[in-house]
Amino acid sequence: MVSGVTLPLQGDTVLLPERIGELTGLDQFGVGGELLATFLAAFIVGNIMLAMTGVAGPWAKRKITAAFTDRIAVNRLGPAGLLIIVADSVRLLSKELIIPEDADRPAYDLAPLVIASSALLGFAVIPMGSGIHLADPEVGLAFVFAVAGIASIGLVMAGYASANKYSMLGGLRAVAQNVAYEIPLVVTGMSVVIFAGSLQMSTIVDAQAQTLVSLGGLDIPAWYALVNPFAFVLFLVANFAEVGRNPFDTPEAPTEIVAGYQTEYSSVYFVLIYLGEFIHIFLGGAIIATIFLGGPAGPGPAELGIVWFIIKIWGVFFLTQWLRSAVPRVRIDQLIEIGWKGLLVLSFANLVITAVIVGLIA
C-alpha cells in the first residue's frame, strides 16, 4: 500500500457484497447468507453492464456513427429513438436460430456463452465507485487480464465449430491477433503496477488520487495517463486490438471474410456474441479507466463515483466508434507486424524505462 494516502472515494475494505449483507441482514446467516449477498451484488453489477450494453448496441452506436457520417439514425420510436432498444430486443430474440448441419455441437453452443461471460467476469474486481466493487483480490489486475483472455478460446471455438471456411479464417485471425496484442497489453499494464506497487485494483486507484501538480489552486491528480502518457497510448492501441475494434477489426472484417467467426451465428447466439463484444469494449474501457484515469475519481462528492466511472467507460466506447467511422482497417499481416515488431518492443521499452525511473526516485 502506498502510505499516507487518504482514501476519499473508497471505503477501505467495504465491498458491495458486504454492504448488501449488512443492509439486508443476510450477513447473520453465515456462509450461505454471504453467498446470497454476493450473488445479489453480482446481479446488480451484471445488470449495470447489460443495461449499458443495451443502450450502446441498438441505440448509441447508431447515433454516434450517424453523427460522424452526416445522418440522423433511429428517431421514430420514443424520444430520440430510444425505444428502438425494445424493438430491437424483440426483433433479435424472435429470429429463427439456424444451426449449420456440420456444426460441432457442444463447442458451437458454448462459444457465445464463453465470449459473453468471460468479459462479464472481469468486472468482478473493478472498483466502480460509489461502493460498487465486488471483490478486491491482491492479484486484481492479473485476474482481469486472465478472464478477458478466455474470450479468445470462445472465438476459436466459434470459428472452428461453425464448419464454415469464413468462420475458420476469422477464428484463426482472432487467435493470431490476441496472441500478438495480449503481451503488449499486459506488459504495459505492468508499468502501472510498478508505479502503484500492487496488483490490487483498489490500491492502483488510490495511488492515483495523489496530486501530480497544482496549477493555480487546481489540483491535477496523478492519474497514470498523465504521469505516463506514452504507456496510456500504448495501452489504448493494444486494447483496441484486443477487443477487435477498428482499425484492428480483422477477425470480423465484413468486406473480406463476411463476419469472421460469427458468420454462422443467428438469433440468440448472435445476440450473445454481439453482447460479448460490447461488454469487452466496456471492460477494456473499465480497465483503462481504472489503471490510467483514476477509476471513479472526479469532482464532487464520492457518491458520484459511479457516474464518473461510467462517463470514462463511455469515453473509451465513443473513441472506438470514432475510429470505426474514420480509420481504415489494417491488413492481417500488417496487424501482426504492428503487434510483434512495434507494440511489443515499445511496451517492453516502456516497462524498463518506467522501472528505472521509479527505482531512481525511490
Partner 1 sequence: MSTGLEKRTTQVEVTEDDLEALLGDRVLGRDDHLNAPGFVIRPDDVQDVLADLRDEAGFDHLSCLTAQQYPDRYESIYHLKKYADPTQEVSVVVPTSTDDPVSQSAEPVFRTADWHEREAFDLVGIDYEGHPDPRRILLPETWQGHPLSDGYDQEKPQIVTLSEHANPIQPDHHDEESDTMFLNIGPHHPATHGVLHVKTVLDGETVVDIDPDIGYLHRCEEQMCQQGTYRHQIMPYPDRWDYVSAGLLNEWAYARAAEDLADIEVPEYAQIIRTMGAELCRIASHMLALGTFALDVYGDFTAVFQYAFRDREVVQDILEDLTGQRLMFNYFRLGGVAWDLPEPRDEFIAKTRDFLDELPAKVDEYNDMITSNEIFQIRCHNTGVLEPEEVKDYGCTGPVARGSGVDYDLRRDDPYGYYENLEWDVVTEDGCDNYARVLVRMQEVEESAKIIEQCLDLLEDWPEDDREVQANVPRTLKPDADTEVYRAVEGAKGELGIYIRSDGTDKPGRFKIRSPCFHNLSALEVMSEGEYIPDLVASLGSLDIVLGEVDR
DSSP 339: I
Residue number with CB closer to partner 1 (254 or 301): 254
Q: Does 341 bind partner 1 (CB under 8 A)?
A: no
Q: How far apart are CA 105 and CA 103, in angstroms?
A: 6
Q: Residue 276 in 3-state DSSP?
A: helix
> Which 3 state secondary structure label does DSSP give 219?
strand
Dihedrals phi, psi of 227, to nearest 5 degrees: -70, -45
Which 8-state DSSP code applies to residue 251? T
> Which own/partner contact pairs does 154-157 have at CB distance under 8 Å and 24+ positions apart?
154/110, 154/111, 154/112, 154/113, 154/114, 154/115, 154/118, 154/276, 155/111, 155/115, 155/251, 155/261, 156/261, 157/107, 157/108, 157/110, 157/111, 157/114
Which range touches partner 1 (CB under 8 A), out of 119-127, 128-136, 233-241, 254-262? 254-262
Nearest residue (CB) to partner 1, 133 versus 173: 173
350 φ, ψ (degrees, to nearest 5): -60, -40
Work out whether 342 is an interface residue with partner 1 (CB under 8 A): no
Under the criterion CB under 8 A, does residue 328 sit at the interface with partner 1?
yes
Query: Minimum distance from CB of 247 to partner 1 (Å)?
Result: 6
Chain Cα centroid distance, residue 57 = 15
User: Among 35, 212, 326, 357, which residue sits at the site for partner 1 (rule: CB under 8 A)?
Assistant: 326
Q: How far is the CB of 265 from partner 1 (least distance, A)?
A: 16
Residue 260 CB, shortest distance to partner 1, in Å, is 11
Q: Does 264 bind partner 1 (CB under 8 A)?
A: no
Report the alpha-carbon angle 66-245-99, nearest 5: 95
Question: Which pairs from 67-75 meet CB under 8 Å and 24+ separation?
Answer: 68/321, 68/322, 68/325, 68/326, 69/325
Nearer to partner 1, 173 or 312 (CB): 173
The residue from 25, 39, 51, 71 that contacts partner 1 (CB under 8 A) is 71
Is 332 among the residues that bind partner 1 (CB under 8 A)? Answer: yes
- Candidates 24-32, 217-225, 256-264, 311-319; binding stretch for partner 1 (CB under 8 A): 256-264
Residue 333 beta carbon to partner 1: minimum distance, rounded to whole angstroms: 6
C-beta atoms surrounding 77 within 10 Å = 15
25 or 254: CB nearest partner 1: 254
Which backbone phi and psi does 180 adopt, to 5 degrees? -70, -30
Single residue of 249, 265, 274, 289 touching partner 1 by CB under 8 A: 249
Residues 11-70 contacting partner 1, CB under 8 A: 68-70
Q: Verify binding: residue 327, partner 1, rule CB under 8 A.
A: yes
Binding letters toward partner 1, positions 164-193, x by CB under 8 A: -xx--x------------------------
Candidates 27, 34, 104, 256; binder of partner 1 (CB under 8 A) is: 256
Residues 188-227 that bind partner 1 (CB under 8 A): none
- The number of beta carbons lying within 10 Å of the beta carbon of residue 67 is 14
The single residue listed with the C-alpha cell 483472455 is: 149
Binding residue count for partner 1, defined by CB under 8 A: 28
Q: Which residues bind partner 1 (CB under 8 A)?
A: 68-71, 165-166, 169, 246-247, 249-250, 253-258, 324-334
